[in-house]
Amino acid sequence: MITTKMLLNRNFFLLFTGLFVLLLLSNLAYAHGMSEAEKQSIIEGGNLRYMWLGATHMLSGYDHLAFVFGIIFFLTTFRDIAKYVTAFTLGHSVTLIYATFTGIQLNYFAIDAIIALSVCYIAFANIDGFRKYLNINPPNMMLMIIGLGLIHGFGLSTRLQELPLSEDSLLLNIISFNVGIEIGQISALALMLIIIAAWRKSHAFQTFSLVANYLLILMGGFLFLMQMHGYEHTTNPEEFITSAKALPEAVRAKESIPMNTAKVNQQDHQSDTINITIPARGDKEYKLSIEKGASLTYTWKTDNDKLFFDFHGEPAGDTTGFFQSYKKNTASESTGTLSAPFTGTHGWYWKNNSASPVTVMLDVEGQYQRLDLKQGQVQPIPTQNSNTKTHDTID
């Protein structure tokens, strides 16, 4: 016979599961990136817009929320909750502000993998796993929460640095985003406390709490594996040539160089040296038109910091957003060859996360057509080889 208490317990469990799924889906939607119109709305909206983005990012960041949920799981007094949540807040605020203001950009897959492990850690501590399974005393919880909070801050910073930050109002942008993060965290925390407080009154709380923490460990482990898979994409990009319907936000150019998409004529073998300046905390795209089967040899290097880059191609006349990525990484130089798999535009997207402009010196040789040249716009510099031209910066 199903009792009222059993129904109550089941409803709380379903509510918890539903909230988790909702947060997961909202985060996946957020991860698709922003359109150019949304980016423009950020610029026009000012610091209030950054605050809103911070709040929505925290509310959709299920890894951060899972960690906070683990922190408060067995806390019963307001003083303890305030103490540990404040420690986490101070930790992630320090690295969020410092890393973004100084332009420190770590590999976001590696950081998110560590954040996933932090979820496993807090849940493992909740089930007293150190004593039960390792026969050791657990580390000081306060120090661990502060340390893991510092790591979470780097994760938040990598996301913030993908937004169009203003050099003139950089600190205010960062602080506004961080305030939004805290507003989102407080909102989520209030809902969590209501659920746990009602849940704690149930006779099945101990059973459900054990299951919930094991689920947190499994979730953290799954997220860790997913992030490490993504990390392999960035450290060994040549092993992961991919195609997609649309470029993610981190691989779309805000300031693409104008292109001529007219049909490519037969191309002669030629070579060029092009200087391309990537603005501070900005990005840029440079493309060549290449026919199917034509070859290209390239070398590029920067005059300063490393850049994230994606070497990719898009078929001529395609309207679906299809692209093929040949190589992507974060580096200060790259060399390679390409035999074009289709007729279309092929080239590079660079993103500069540093606080200073970076110049890319690109050398290309092969059968291609430059898309940044308009008749009479750029005059080639004569060299000994009549087919070799060196041009000034294109922007």
31-60 pLDDT, tens digit per residue, is 334 444 555 556 666 788 889 988 988 988
My answer on whether 80 and 9 are in the same domain is yes
Q: Whole-angstrom Cα distance, residue 119 to residue 64? A: 8
Closest by alpha carbon to 12, among 208, 199, 203, 193? Answer: 199
My answer on whether 224 and 256 are in the same domain is no
Domain annotation covers residue 244: no
Task: Say how many domains are in the chain.
Answer: 2
| Residue 29 confidence class, pLDDT cut points 50, 70, 90 | very low
My answer on whether 105 and 16 are in the same domain is yes
Predicted confidence (pLDDT) per residue in 336-389, tens digit = 999 999 999 999 999 887 778 899 999 999 999 998 875 333 334 333 343 433
My answer on whether 188 and 261 are in the same domain is no
SS3 category, 344: strand
Which amino acid would we find at residue 14? L
Beta carbons within 10 angstroms of residue 327's beta carbon: 17
Domain annotation covers residue 197: yes
What torsion do the CA atoms of 317, 323, 324, 326 make, to the nearest 10 degrees?
Answer: 100
Domain annotation covers residue 243: no
Domain hosting 114: range is 4-235
My answer on whether 184 and 311 are in the same domain is no
The pLDDT value given to residue 39: 55
Residue 345: half-sphere exposure toward Cβ, Cα within 13 Å: 23
Task: Write down the pTM of the prediction.
Answer: 0.59
383: tokens are 């060299």
Sequence-distant (6+) residues with CB within 8 A of 40 are none
